[in-house]
Structure 1
Amino acid sequence: MSDRRFRATTAFQRHIANPLTRLLPFQTLLETTGRVSGEPRRTPLGGRRVGDSFWLVSEFGTKSQYVRNIQADPRVRVRIGGRWHHGTAHLLPDDDPAARLRTLPRGNSAAVKALGTRLLTIRVDLDD
């Protein structure tokens, strides 16, 4: 069941949700570098800035393409409130992602919790 859920969710996100939400000027975006193409890859997501860090939870952990890109190159950019910030992403497998979701925006957290099968906390240390 979880593999089917992963395929259905990622197909919906890739072909419908992400292309539409990327166009919204204040949608939070994570920009990674494609590990094969070397091209910028922008993923709409939810999370929260706390001080000089941006926190998020990936619903599919290391199966997510943007997480695999982070593993290859942790230098990222995050668009928060319409402004881009450079940073370095850190995968935190020892963090409690369910507890972390309770500190993040409710709407996105509910979707991640409902659809996710391999929750993984990610912290981006912002340079600026």
Structure 2
Amino acid sequence: MTRYAELKYRIVTPFQRRIGNPVLRRLPMQTVLETTGRKSGLPRRTPLGGRRVGDSFWLVSEYGERSQYVRNIRADARVRVRIRGRWYSGTAHLLPDDDPRARLKTLPRLNSAAVRAVGGRLLTVRVDLED
């Protein structure tokens, strides 16, 4: 990670963890990814942006392998996603060979702009939904 990307990570991450995420995950229509904590075993909910396409939900992680939810997915790929207020179970797949910048062009503009602005190492994630 470049110095600039590391600086962005150190500035943005504490804000997201302490202020942004706790507020956003309470909004009923906010998309939320629920993973199982790899150490605690407890549910971990992360507000994020992405788009449902058929039976899959696509998103791009702004910090790639460094994101806590990506680390949780590596430990247990079973997740839930709240889309428009409804929960769906699914299996998450990390796609390092996918082009995350091209993928962002297919996802909601506002979220994609934020991911590009603050992100360092981008990583595409696909969740295959069961419900």
Q: Which stretch of the first structure deviates more once superposed, 6-15 or 42-51?
A: 6-15
> Structure 2 CA distance, aligned partners of 1:2 and 1:103?
24
User: TM-score, normalising length from structure 1?
Assistant: 0.99
Amino acid at match of 1:87: G
Summarize the alignment of residues 1-128 of structure 1 with structure 2, pairs less than 5 Å apart.
Answer: 1-128=4-131
Amino acid at match of 2:80: R
User: TM-score, normalising length from structure 2?
Assistant: 0.96
> Structure 2 CA distance, aligned partners of 1:76 and 1:118?
22
Which SS does the other structure have where 1:110 is aligned?
helix
> Structure 2 CA distance, aligned partners of 1:89 and 1:63?
16
Matched length: 128
Which SS does the other structure have where 2:102 is aligned?
helix
> Structure 1 CA distance, aligned partners of 2:69 and 2:10?
15
Which SS does the other structure have where 2:49 is aligned?
coil
What's the CA shift for 1:23? Answer: 1.1
Listed as ranges, the gaps of 5+ residues in structure 1 are none
> Structure 2 CA distance, aligned partners of 1:2 and 1:99?
20
Q: Deviations over 1:44-82 (max 9, x none)?
A: 000000000000000000000000000000000000000
Listed as ranges, the gaps of 5+ residues in structure 2 are none
Calculate the aligned-residue CA RMSD, in Å: 0.5
